[in-house]
């Protein structure tokens, strides 16, 4: 990093989208084509693999689509109320069903 600036591989979008994963759920704070940051009540560890689904309501509010993703936890932020989780997105696919229902 030069002059304290961040270097990202993809443009970051700020927004709140529902996230589902085995044993819990969360809400995004921001996301890009290569990663996601979401807040949850569940704990994770850096280096841990994760599979999750992001609900995409904007396409059709009556029939949401889901982006199923797999990645790796890269950072954890505990602010005392929620746990912030930063994860890479290594692979993804689109489906009409949330994670674990097809």
pTM, two decimals, is 0.81
88, with CB counted inside 10 A (0-12, 13-18, 19+), is middle
CATH code for the domain of 33: 2.40.10.220
pLDDT in tens, 22-31: 999 999 999 9
Whether residue 8 is contained in a domain is answered as no
Decide if 54 is inside a domain: yes
pLDDT digits (tens, 9 = 90+) for 17-66: 999 999 999 999 999 989 999 999 999 999 999 999 999 877 677 788 89
Domain count of the fold of the chain: 1
CA-based torsion, 51, 55, 59, 60: positive or negative: positive
Domain extent at residue 48: 13-95
Residue 4 located in a structural domain: no
């Amino acid at each position: 990093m030069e002059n304290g600036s961040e270097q990202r591989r993809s443009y970051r979008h700020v927004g709140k989208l529902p996230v589902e994963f085995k044993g819990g759920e969360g809400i995004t704070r921001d996301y890009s084509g290569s990663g996601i940051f979401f807040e949850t009540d569940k704990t994770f560890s850096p280096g841990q693999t994760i599979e999750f689904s992001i609900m995409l309501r904007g396409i059709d509010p009556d029939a949401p689509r889901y982006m199923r993703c797999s990645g790796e936890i890269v950072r954890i932020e505990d602010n005392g109320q929620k746990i912030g989780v930063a994860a890479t997105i290594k692979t993804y696919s689109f489906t009409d069903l949330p994670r674990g229902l097809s």
